[in-house]
């Protein structure tokens, strides 16, 4: 039927930050901090400063699950790590934790592609520091570019490239060959 073909999508886009667990045990019903969904923490996963659990393997699993189910190309439109970045005296920001997070997630995207998943693209949240949507804080930073602004709205708005900026630049230029497996 032609009408059915007009109603289909060409690809599926989604945001990925973490996986979740559920439990029927009342003692385990503690909600994972920083998350709007009712989930319990996975004791085997590391968490960010805001309680968001870090699960790169979960991204590979989700990519395979969605592709198997819908047989449509996938696009990861949002993924990243909120953290309190420290501005060094010389102006550098050494955000190795962000590099590790992104590296590990991108490696799993590569693994999913090797599994046969068609992935159209990946974008980070966000390229430049901005006010956190979940906490309305500037101190929860996501970007590759630091913005001089604090939670009270004070600062010069000067921008500085973080260590992750140069790392991500090399990942893009190398088509992922600089990722650490």
pLDDT for res 30: 57
Q: What is the mean pLDDT of residues 18-23?
A: 85
pLDDT for res 70: 96
Lowest mean pLDDT, pick from 23-27, 54-58, 98-102, 105-109: 23-27
61 has a pLDDT exceeding 70? yes
74 with 63: CB under 8 angstroms?
yes
pLDDT for res 2: 60
Top-confidence residue, 37 or 62: 62
172 has a pLDDT exceeding 90? yes
pLDDT for res 170: 98
Lowest mean pLDDT, pick from 59-73, 126-140, 148-162: 126-140
- List, as one string, the DSSP characters of 110-158: HHHHHTT--EEEE--S-SB----TTT--SSSB--SEEE---TTS-S---
- At residue 25, the 3 state secondary structure works out as coil
State the average pLDDT for the chain: 91
35 has a pLDDT exceeding 80? no
Residue showing tokens 């790169």:
56
Q: What is the mean pLDDT of residues 116-122?
A: 98
Look at the chain and count its residues: 181
107 has a pLDDT exceeding 70? yes
Confidence tier at 40 by pLDDT (50, 70, 90)? confident
């Amino acid at each position: 039927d032609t009408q059915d073909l007009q109603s289909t999508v060409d690809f599926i886009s989604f945001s990925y930050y973490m996986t979740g667990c559920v439990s029927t045990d009342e003692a385990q019903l503690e909600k994972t901090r920083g998350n709007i969904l009712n989930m319990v923490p996975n004791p085997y996963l590391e968490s960010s400063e805001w309680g968001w659990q870090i699960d790169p393997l979960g991204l590979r699993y989700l990519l395979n699950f969605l592709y198997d189910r819908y047989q449509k190309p996938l696009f990861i439109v949002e993924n990243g790590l909120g953290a309190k970045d420290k501005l060094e005296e010389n102006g550098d920001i050494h955000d190795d934790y962000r590099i590790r997070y992104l590296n590990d997630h991108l490696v799993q995207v590569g693994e999913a592609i090797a599994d046969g998943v068609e992935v159209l693209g990946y974008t980070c949240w966000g390229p430049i520091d901005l006010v956190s949507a979940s906490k309305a804080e500037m101190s929860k930073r996501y970007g590759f570019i630091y913005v001089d602004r604090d939670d009270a709205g004070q600062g010069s708005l000067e921008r500085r490239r973080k260590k992750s900026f140069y790392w991500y630049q090399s990942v893009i230029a190398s088509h992922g060959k600089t990722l650490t497996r």
